[in-house]
Amino acid sequence: SQTIHQWPATLVQPVGSPLSLECTVEGTSNPNLYWYRQAAGRGLQLLFYSVGIGQISSEVPQNLSASRPQDRQFILSSKKLLLSDSGFYLCAWVGHPNTEAFFGQGTRLTVV
Amino acid sequence: GENVEQHPSTLSVQEGDSAVIKCTYSDSASNYFPWYKQELGKGPQLIIDIRSNVGEKKDQRIAVTLNKTAKHFSLHITETQPEDSAVYFCAASKGFNKFYFGSGTKLNVKP
């Protein structure tokens, strides 16, 4: 069966520090992968999506970047965190043929 | 891109009553509309979905309706139970490539 792993679960980082969140998927190949951010009390904002290795599309301009070094690995990064980067970050995948979007358990990022 | 609006933002019902959450979407090409339930501190999980060639779908106490002409879809929960308390998100997708979510509805079922 397919599973999605996302870590860490919680993270407290100082302003100006770098960030690396990792997401891996098991049990599927060539999935579409997504990073979403959920600000406190708000909906899910699509940040990045990827349809294959090295292929990244950004939905909104921001302080973050994404990379897909392997088929089932998706990384969210920042060189210098801002206070506004705080939020709940969710990784998701969609398999082939078309299926629902499956979400990871999320990473609670607090920038202090 | 797609714009999904969701109402209400909070909903409080008595146990056993029904709950209805409504969403509208802007892109007439969207053809897949899932609903997700998110419990505190966890990722959202799919509870029901509907495709654009169907007007209504039901799964036990949960049903979803879709009006393509008006570009709106709704989630109906009957005989609500305390364990239904959570945040619910609607979403719209075109071809399963990108999912655009509503702002969420916090449902509180009072025992």
Note whether B99 contacts A92, CB cutoff 8 Å: yes
Closest by alpha carbon to A111, among A7, A16, A8, A6? A16
Number of cross-chain residue pairs from A and B with Cβ atoms under 8 Å apart: 60
**Facing residues of A65 across strands?**
A77
- What's the pLDDT at B16? 97
- What's the pLDDT at A1? 66
- What's the pLDDT at A98? 62
- What's the pLDDT at A56? 94
Note whether A44 contacts B49, CB cutoff 8 Å: no
Residue B53 DSSP class = T
- What's the pLDDT at A28? 81
Q: Which residues of chain B have pLDDT under 70?
A: 96
- Which tokens hold the place of B84? 């239904």
Note the residue count of chain A. 112
Note whether A46 contacts B41, CB cutoff 8 Å: no
B101–chain A Cβ distance below 8 A for any pair: yes
